[in-house]
Amino acid sequence: MSAQRVVVLGAGPAGAAVARALAGLGYVVQVVSDWRRFDAVEGMSPRVIEGLRHAGLHRAANTVAGPSARTTLWNGVLQTLNAEYLVDRRAFDAALRQDLRNADVEVIEANVRSVQTSPAGHDLMIETSDGPLSLRADFLVEARGRLSPLMRDATRGPQTLSLLNVWQGERGAAASAVESLQDGWAWMARLPDGRCYWQMTLDVASAELPQRDELPAFCARMRRAPLASNFFAHDADTDVRLHARSSTPTLCGRTGARNWLRVGDAAMAVDPLSGNGIFQSLSSALQAPAVIHTLLSCPERASLALRFHQQRIEQLFMRFARTGRDFYALEQRWAARPFWEARRLWPDDAPLHVSADFNQLNIERAPVIDGNLIAEADVVVSPDQPLGVWHLQGVPLAPIVEALRKQPADHVLRALDADQARLVRHWLDAHGYSQAQA
């Protein structure tokens, strides 16, 4: 039997991570992606770089520069906080493609013209530099980010627009900054070669946006804000290029079926303030290869695999949305302005984290990643971890929690080695076990 063919639409971090992992599982993988239409820079944290390396995307990880200083002016307070790692997206995207080719994944630079889907597979028509080309896939991965066709069942947050300005300034140290404004906020960065980036995020419904030909002048006025003026003090902002893009939080109500799956921003896209965009994209993609492998090799587990993927996408979305909500709420100077009021109240008023209580732990059957497949196991569920925890570094937690309801910890943990017992005790303490016993 010939290997099943998978086509991944999109060569960003999510698409690349999925494609590389599926190739390692023996699938014939093709990636279809066009180049980014504009120059951009993004910030990363060390956990993103670690995630890229974990996914085998080493060349992409090596394009990241830093760390560099990151300054914030929020609620009137100026701080220089944790360092940020900046990456030139053009170099980063080129490195992702090379990582894929090194893993024997075919990368086709093309636009997708049409996709015809049926239970038997997918027929794609793409447009390459050499003309139209047709592809056939047994499985389709949608990873084109916010450019993916929207689904009717999508949940959307406050309608948000980001205006990106790019220009050439003076060479100097890399740095980034974030500044809150009366009707939005701005992120800015400078690369060592002098390229400057300033992006303002605002509310489409409430902002008094000018006509398109007046947007450059509007952005120039907004860049006179205190932090931006200081940040770009030595950079003459001439020949500024402007790009507008949607940054509305979006969650797909259906992220997969038996022969297709959405990953990264195509499954859920969050507000830029909610966290690192590449981190959330990778977070939703690293689970996908096991889901896809289960759908293709163990179709009897299809419902379990799809439930696993959907639940985790929804949980990630809500976690990032609440993180953004809480950060918006810190800005009190303009709390009553439409931009800030809408975002400090969305998506809900539930806390980001719930206090640990050992007595609230429950044991349930739930889908888990078991090797390269999705299986079902007993997991420990808590208000803060509603999808459950299966094991800690190979130690199943459900039998331990169940036994602790009847026996003391010293007796229950006796079968573990010293390192395992220490790890489990730390987890139990963090989940209120000590307090419950007191």
Judge whether residue 435 has pLDDT over 50.
no
Residues 109-150: tens digit of each pLDDT: 999 999 999 989 999 999 999 999 999 999 999 999 988 886
Residue 437 banded pLDDT, cuts 50, 70, 90:
low
Q: Under DSSP, is residue 134 helix (H, G, I), strand (E, B) or coil?
A: strand
Q: What is the 3-state secondary structure (H, E, C) of 279-326?
A: HHHHHHHCCHHHHHHHHHHCHHHHHHHHHHHHHHHHHHHHHHHHHHHH
Judge whether residue 436 has pLDDT over 70.
no
Residue 107 banded pLDDT, cuts 50, 70, 90:
very high
Query: What's the rounded mean pLDDT across residues 268-291?
Result: 84
Is residue 238 within 8 Å of 194, Cβ to Cβ?
A: no
- Taking CA atoms, 33 is separated from 20, 37, 88, in Å, by 15, 12, 18
Judge whether residue 29 has pLDDT over 60.
yes
Least confident residue range of 109-118, 189-198, 274-283, 372-381: 274-283
Q: How large a percentage of the chain has pLDDT more than 70?
A: 97
Judge whether residue 55 has pLDDT over 90.
yes
Overall pTM surpassing 0.75 (yes/no): yes
Residue 11 banded pLDDT, cuts 50, 70, 90:
very high
Q: Which residue has the tokens 């931006």?
A: 228
Q: Domains in the chain, please, with CATH?
A: 5-69+80-154+249-329 (3.50.50.60), 160-246 (3.30.9.100), 358-437 (no CATH)
Query: What's the rounded mean pLDDT across residues 95-104?
Result: 96
Question: What pLDDT is attached to residue 346?
Answer: 95
Is residue 130 within 8 Å of 44, Cβ to Cβ?
A: no
Query: What's the rounded mean pLDDT across residues 373-382?
Result: 96
Q: Which residue has the tokens 């030595």?
A: 234
Residue type, 189: A
Residue type, 358: F
Residue 37 banded pLDDT, cuts 50, 70, 90:
confident
Question: What pLDDT is attached to residue 273?
Answer: 79
Cα distance between residue 423 and residue 193, in whole Å? 46
How distant is the alpha carbon of residue 361 from its chain centre? 28
Question: What pLDDT is attached to residue 356?
Answer: 81
Query: What's the rounded mean pLDDT across residues 39-43?
Result: 87
Q: How large a percentage of the chain has pLDDT more than 90?
A: 75
Question: What pLDDT is attached to residue 28?
Answer: 96
Question: What pLDDT is attached to residue 209?
Answer: 84
Judge whether residue 347 has pLDDT over 50.
yes
Question: What pLDDT is attached to residue 438?
Answer: 39
Residues 387-413: tens digit of each pLDDT: 999 999 899 999 999 999 989 988 999
Query: What's the rounded mean pLDDT across residues 243-269?
Result: 94
Cα distance between residue 399 and residue 10, in whole Å? 42
CA-closest candidate to residue 99, choices 36, 23, 39: 23
Question: What pLDDT is attached to residue 1?
Answer: 47
